Amino acid sequence: MWTFAKRKAPMTRGDFKKLPRHVAIIMDGNGRWAKKHKLSVALGHRQGTETLREIIRHTDDLGIEALSIYAFSTENWNRSKEEVAALMQLILDFFASEIDELDAKNVRILILGDKSDLPAKQREVLLQAEERTGGNTGLKLNIALNYGGRAELANAARELAMLVQSGRITPAMIDEKTLADHLYTRGQPDVDLMIRTSGEMRLSNFLLYQCAYAEFLFPTVLWPDFSVQDYDEALIAYGGRERRFGGRLK
């Protein structure tokens, strides 16, 4: 676990010697932040959404290709009715306030996860956002909602089994690439950098396949306090990592 040094102005693309193509973030610590400030957990998540806005903007400014964020896992349904309702409301508020700017910035929104279990209103808003931005060619913004990595893999296996059953492919044709082509993130690069805030060091069923060779960073800062400067520090730390992908350094 480590904390970041303090830095002032946000960095620009040219300041980095190497940037990841795909960043994934587990936005952890909203509940602890709320407790620390004697606020409701709903307000913790609301503050977390403010952080998210800034981080999306900075990711786009830096020209990073893809950003995946874990907004609601399949396990989050087990939280209290009030907390789930607050998160569902935040989804509506987030898209109502952000969609115009995101679309204007050429951001393509993709929802990772099973939308069919979400309330009708949320489902509608998410489908609209995906449709409206589907042709955009800028930042790929993947928002994981009702997402589970194992469910994603099971889903891909089911789709491939159906293709075999219908005779369109043979089992021998299934390789890593065909499997990846049946994940929500099809066509996108693997995750290069995974950040989980709040000091917890777990993957929690997020992008299991896509993180096979990801670099991991676990800053101790709680998500609502995670600043653009903290993000820059994480990206600098990523730039200093030597990635070997199972091989040896030359």
Asked if 48 touches ligand FPP (CB under 6 A), the answer is yes
* 232, two tokens: 């820059």
Asked if 32 touches ligand FPP (CB under 6 A), the answer is yes
Asked if 206 touches ligand FPP (CB under 6 A), the answer is no
The one segment of 47-55, 132-140, 149-157, 231-239 that binds ligand FPP by CB under 6 A: 47-55
CB closer to ligand FPP, 75 vs 131? 75
225 flagged as catalytic? no
Q: Which of 27, 56, 67, 111 binds ligand FPP (CB under 6 A)?
A: 27
28 flagged as catalytic? yes
Yes or no: say if 140 and 60 are a contact pair by the CB < 8 Å rule.
no
CB closer to ligand FPP, 27 vs 236? 27
Residue 82 is which amino acid? E
CB closer to ligand FPP, 30 vs 146? 30
Task: Exactly one of 15, 76, 136, 205 is catalytic; name it.
Answer: 76
The one segment of 48-56, 59-67, 163-171, 238-246 that binds ligand FPP by CB under 6 A: 48-56
Enumerate residues 83-102 that contact ligand FPP by CB under 6 A.
87, 90-91, 94
Enumerate the β-bridge partners of residue 108: 140
CB closer to ligand FPP, 66 vs 236? 66
Residue 140 is which amino acid? K
Asked if 219 touches ligand FPP (CB under 6 A), the answer is no
Q: Which of 56, 71, 107, 236 binds ligand FPP (CB under 6 A)?
A: 71
Asked if 149 touches ligand FPP (CB under 6 A), the answer is no
Question: What one-character-per-residue DSSP string does the chain give?
Answer: -B-PPP--SPP-GGG-S---SEEEEE---HHHHHHHTT--HHHHHHHHHHHHHHHHHHHHHTT-SEEEEEEEEGGGGGS-HHHHHHHHHHHHHHHHHHHHHHHHTTPEEEEES-GGGS-HHHHHHHHHHHHHHTT--S-EEEEEEEE-HHHHHHHHHHHHHHHHHTTSS-GGG--HHHHHTTSTTTTSPPPSEEEE-TT----TTSSTTTTTT-EEE-B-S-GGG--HHHHHHHHHHHHTPPP-TTS---
Q: For ligand FPP, which residue has the nearest CB?
A: 31
Catalytic residue annotation: 28, 76
Binding residues (CB under 6 A) for ligand FPP: these are: 27-32, 45, 48-49, 52, 71, 76, 87, 90-91, 94, 143, 198
